[in-house]
């Protein structure tokens, strides 16, 4: 099971026909994405389960339904355990961008992170996960699949947000500020973070 986001509304893809009473289940083979997205944007359909009996083929069938753009992104930590965020389109986000021809997902994630923030000396620690969201470009819906990597950098120089990509800020954020940033971020970005980032810190709770 995984999620494909349309304007922060998750479409569930699963190998289960029934995942909850509120969900409308549609076979992935027959779904009409334009109609589905229109209903989601109108607010007339908010709980959707796209079903295929073979879980390993969920992404394969999804790729046949929409043109795919593959991207690489990074959650970068520094020596202070701060996380590197960017500010774009009024939201806090993590650096990411389209993979170039002949480029690996990991190399694309490194390049895009450096270009969008000015950070240097990136070291990849591990692959985190893939996220999926639908966007519209040139009046056509497309599916962006982003490959996310955890990285580390001891770079302590100035960060330079990439203005031509609409990035207003690039900032290192500690645990508390990261929590706050996530309240102004995207749902697919929140999927990358452990639960403690999405809830009140234990030390802040009233006993």
Q: Under a CB-based contact definition with an 8 Å cutoff, are residues 168 and 92 in contact?
A: no
Task: Please give the torsion angle defined by the CA atoms of residues 119, 96, 100 and 123, in that order, rounded to the nearest 10 degrees.
Answer: 40
Looking at residue 137, what is its pLDDT?
A: 87
Distance CA 61, CA 120 (A): 38
| pLDDT tens profile 19-65 | 999 999 999 999 998 899 999 999 999 999 999 999 888 999 899 98
| pLDDT tens profile 99-135 | 999 999 999 999 999 999 999 999 999 999 999 999 9
Looking at residue 206, what is its pLDDT?
A: 42
Residue 202's pLDDT band (cuts 50, 70, 90): very low
All structural domains of the chain: 2-65 (no CATH), 71-204 (3.90.79.10)
Task: Give the tokens for residue 142.
Answer: 């497309």
Q: Under a CB-based contact definition with an 8 Å cutoff, are residues 151 and 77 in contact?
A: yes
Strand partners, 25: 49
Of 107-121, 143-157, 166-180, 183-197, least confident by mean pLDDT is 183-197
Q: Which of 72, 69, 150 is nearest to 106 (CA)?
A: 72
Q: Long-range contacts: 81-84, Cβ < 8 Å, 24+?
A: 81/174, 81/175, 82/172, 82/173, 82/174, 82/178, 83/172, 83/173, 83/178, 84/113, 84/117, 84/119, 84/153, 84/159, 84/170, 84/171, 84/172, 84/173
| pLDDT tens profile 11-24 | 999 999 999 999 99
Helix (H, G, I), strand (E, B) or coil at 87: strand
Q: What is the DSSP letter of 23?
A: P
């Amino acid at each position: 099971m995984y999620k494909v986001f349309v304007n922060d509304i998750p479409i569930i893809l699963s190998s289960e026909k029934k995942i909850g009473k509120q969900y409308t289940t549609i076979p992935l083979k027959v779904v009409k994405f334009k109609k589905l997205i229109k209903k989601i944007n109108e607010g007339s359909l908010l709980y959707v389960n796209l079903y295929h009996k073979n879980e390993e083929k969920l992404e394969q069938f999804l790729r046949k339904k929409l043109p795919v753009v593959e991207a690489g992104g990074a959650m970068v930590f520094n020596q202070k355990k701060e996380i590197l965020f960017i500010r774009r389109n009024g939201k806090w986000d993590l650096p990411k961008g389209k993979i170039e021809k002949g480029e690996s997902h990991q190399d694309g994630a490194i390049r895009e992170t450096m270009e969008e923030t000015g950070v240097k000396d990136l070291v990849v620690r591990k692959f985190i996960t893939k996220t999926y969201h639908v966007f519209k470009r040139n009046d056509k819906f497309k599916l962006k699949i982003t490959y996310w990597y955890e990285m580390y950098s001891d770079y302590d120089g100035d960060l330079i947000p990439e203005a031509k990509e609409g990035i207003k800020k690039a900032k290192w954020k500690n645990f508390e500020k990261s929590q706050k940033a996530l309240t102004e971020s995207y749902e697919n970005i929140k999927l990358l973070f452990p639960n403690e980032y999405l809830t009140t810190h234990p030390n802040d709770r009233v006993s």
